[in-house]
């Protein structure tokens, strides 16, 4: 039989393919066939970094909430929190992609691998695909049957906070412009802005804590399985 990686003949029972160097594992059903040993993607470092960053974001959102309610200047805090959020996003997507890849080796997944990235940017399905993937990953990574209700609650809480952070960010603002004749034009605009209101900031902060809880749990379970 051939090596599944390089399609070259593989010696029965070989540990490594002598051509491409891929680590091999003989198949019990087909002794002459060498199947590659699944390699887990590294997630420990990313998971720890995300847990810290999300905790800092939660503290920043809490500070923004307090300052805004007290009537103080919160513009600097809003800017810092948004920059931190933008920095967290790509790190999270890499972590999400990797843990989904690992989870696919241990249990059935509702969504394909590509949806770990695409679901966030695809209209309509972005309302539920990401939380489905996260829940499946957590369960496949090692959640005990008795702990599945807890998994569902944390995932539902995280997604509710994330959705509300957007929906409660609706606000209106005034835009000043200059017309062709030099006159000042004032228009009223409105939109949904993440972290744009006090309620949105509080939902984002709580959601960050719940996300940190999930990331720490999944990372720990996958690291333990990888070590075993």
Name the pTM for this structure.
Answer: 0.75
Number of domains in the chain: 2
- Specify whether 68 is located in the same domain as 33: no
- Specify whether 114 is located in the same domain as 129: yes
Query: What residues contact residue 82 under an 8 Å CB cut-off, 6+ apart?
Result: 194, 195
- Specify whether 29 is located in the same domain as 5: yes
What pLDDT shows up at residue 40?
84
pLDDT tens profile 115-144: 999 999 999 999 999 999 999 998 888 866
- Specify whether 102 is located in the same domain as 30: no
Residue 92: closest CA among 208, 222, 221: 208
- Specify whether 28 is located in the same domain as 124: no
What pLDDT shows up at residue 1?
47
- Specify whether 178 is located in the same domain as 219: yes
Provide the domain limits for residue 13: 1-37
Segments of the chain with pLDDT less than 70: 1-38, 143-149, 170-176, 185-193, 228
- Specify whether 116 is located in the same domain as 173: yes
What does DSSP say about strands 34-36 and 24-26: parallel, antiparallel, or unpaired?
antiparallel
* Under 8 Å between Cβ of 207 and 165: yes
- Specify whether 5 is located in the same domain as 64: no
- The helix or strand, by DSSP H or E, that contains position 25, with its residue range, turns out to be strand 24-26
What pLDDT shows up at residue 35?
52
| Residue 85 vs residues 52, 78, 106, 199: alpha-carbon distances, Å | 13, 10, 31, 17
What pLDDT shows up at residue 226?
76
């Amino acid at each position: 039989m051939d090596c599944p990686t390089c399609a070259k003949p593989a010696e029965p029972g070989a540990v490594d393919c002598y051509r491409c160097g891929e680590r091999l594992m003989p198949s019990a059903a087909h002794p002459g066939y060498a199947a590659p040993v699944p390699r887990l993607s590294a997630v420990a470092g990313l998971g720890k970094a995300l847990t810290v960053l999300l905790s800092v974001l939660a503290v920043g959102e809490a500070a923004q909430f307090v300052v805004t309610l007290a009537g103080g200047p919160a513009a600097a805090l809003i800017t810092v929190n948004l920059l931190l959020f933008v920095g967290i996003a790509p790190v999270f997507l890499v972590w999400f992609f990797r843990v989904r890849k690992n989870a696919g080796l241990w249990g059935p997944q509702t969504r394909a691998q590509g949806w770990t990235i695409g679901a966030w940017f695809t209209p309509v399905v972005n309302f539920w695909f990401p939380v489905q993937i996260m829940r499946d990953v957590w369960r496949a990574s090692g959640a005990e049957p008795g702990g599945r209700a807890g998994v569902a609650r944390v995932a539902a809480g995280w997604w509710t906070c994330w959705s509300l952070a957007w929906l409660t960010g609706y606000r209106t603002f005034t835009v000043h412009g200059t017309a062709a004749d030099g006159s000042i034009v004032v228009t009223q605009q409105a939109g949904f802005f993440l972290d744009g209101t006090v309620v949105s900031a509080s939902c984002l902060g709580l959601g960050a804590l719940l996300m940190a809880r999930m990331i720490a749990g999944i990372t720990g379970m996958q690291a333990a399985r990888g070590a075993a």
